[in-house]
Structure 1
Amino acid sequence: MSDTVLATDSAVHHAHEAYLTSINSNDVARFLTTVTDDIVFLPPNSEPIAGKEAVGAWVAGYFEAIQTVWTKTTVELVVADGLAYEWYRYHVVDTPRDGGESATDTGNGVNIYRIDADGTWRVWRDIWATAS
């Protein structure tokens, strides 16, 4: 499959950057501005987490326990009819806030973005899995 990426000045690319920056800020309120009200997380080895409130609670627990730094490199980004999908490769370093060794993970994921009523692209679905 070829690597197809939109220009880096596209609105969806800016949504990708805002989402990644919000994750790396470890700030729940900032993160929640980058997702839709009906966001669904599909994390590895877990049931789906649906809705902004539930995802916000999950993210709050994660940020409380972990200082996280993600790198997400877009492999493919396609936009059509108010939706966009992004296949990304990621590397994450999670450092426990109470001390201990950092854990790393590398894998692949898919974000689906949707234009909200205010005209802003936001993450609607996020699924990721470790590459092993």
Structure 2
Amino acid sequence: MSISFFVQYFFVLTLDRAVDRLYRKSDFNSERERMEHLFTLYSKQPKRLIYMKFRHNAVKTVLFVFLPLLFSNHALADEAADIAAIEQAAQRWIELYTTGDLDRLMTLYTEDAIVALHGRPALRGAEQVRNFFAPGMGKSRVTFEIDIEEIQVHGDTAHLLSKYYLTAEPKDGGDVYRDAGRSLLIYKRNADNEWKLYLDIDQATPDARF
């Protein structure tokens, strides 16, 4: 069972016990006796009873300690799911790039994607990105590895920082091409809750070499 389940269970149990203590010190023999006692209190001193509920230390503890903890736990779970989805999107890019599947590769980009490779002019828009990749796709045996250094989510955008190592061996012979460096990827969440690659900036760096 998840931590969230135990937090919610403890929250409900604590709140129930706290409210019970507001009724009277001794336990009730039945649910009916409890409800009758409650209605009697409401009929005699409704304002005081409401005031007591919000003032009672046990209730305040639940409201100001356990509720924030519960929501915080949900937020952490959502962020972990987003990070996992972004890492999966990065691995999917590697799979499609190394196998030369250009059509599926382009589905990972936003329409207004920007790709800025070191030593080259920036590519703007999915069409320019496609035209850049198209001539060489499927013509080499490619290996591409990344060493993820950081993933952070900022609402509907996220960034992934990693080192990368590319090797391309032409299938018809020729020199093997190698490239290594560091890349900064910016992802955007679309209306279908999918993370798409919006910005790819690569640079040569002395701490990422073959």
What whole-Å deviation, never above 9, does each CA across 1:49-82 have from its counterpart, x for those lacking one? 0111110111112315544221012101100111
| Structure with max Cα Rg | 2
| SS of alignment partner, residue 121 of structure 2 | coil
Map of 2:168 onto structure 1: 94
Which 4+ stretches in 1 moved above 3 angstroms?
6-9, 64-67
Q: Please report the TM-score for the alignment, with normalisation by the length of structure 2.
A: 0.56
Higher relative contact order (CA 8 A, sep 6+): 1
Partner Cα distance (2:125, 2:200) in 1: 12
Partner Cα distance (2:106, 2:141) in 1: 17
The aligned amino acid for 2:98 is N
Do the aligned residues in 1 keep the contact of 2:169 with 2:175 (CA within 8 Å)?
A: yes
Do the aligned residues in 2 keep the contact of 1:39 with 1:123 (CA within 8 Å)?
A: yes
Kindly indicate which of the two structures has a greater share of residues assigned to strand: 1
| SS of alignment partner, residue 163 of structure 2 | strand
Partner Cα distance (2:182, 2:130) in 1: 22
Kindly indicate which of the two structures has a greater share of residues assigned to helix: 2
Structure 1 residue runs of 5 or longer lacking an equivalent are 1-5
Structure 2 residue runs of 5 or longer lacking an equivalent are 1-79
The two structures, once aligned, show a CA RMSD in angstroms of 1.9
| 1:20-39 matched pairs, under 5 angstroms | 20-39=94-113
Q: Please report the TM-score for the alignment, with normalisation by the length of structure 1.
A: 0.86
Do the aligned residues in 2 keep the contact of 1:19 with 1:123 (CA within 8 Å)?
A: no
Partner Cα distance (2:126, 2:110) in 1: 7
The aligned amino acid for 1:68 is V
Do the aligned residues in 1 keep the contact of 2:181 with 2:204 (CA within 8 Å)?
A: yes
Do the aligned residues in 2 keep the contact of 1:22 with 1:34 (CA within 8 Å)?
A: no
Aligned identity (percent) is: 23
Map of 1:10 onto structure 2: 84
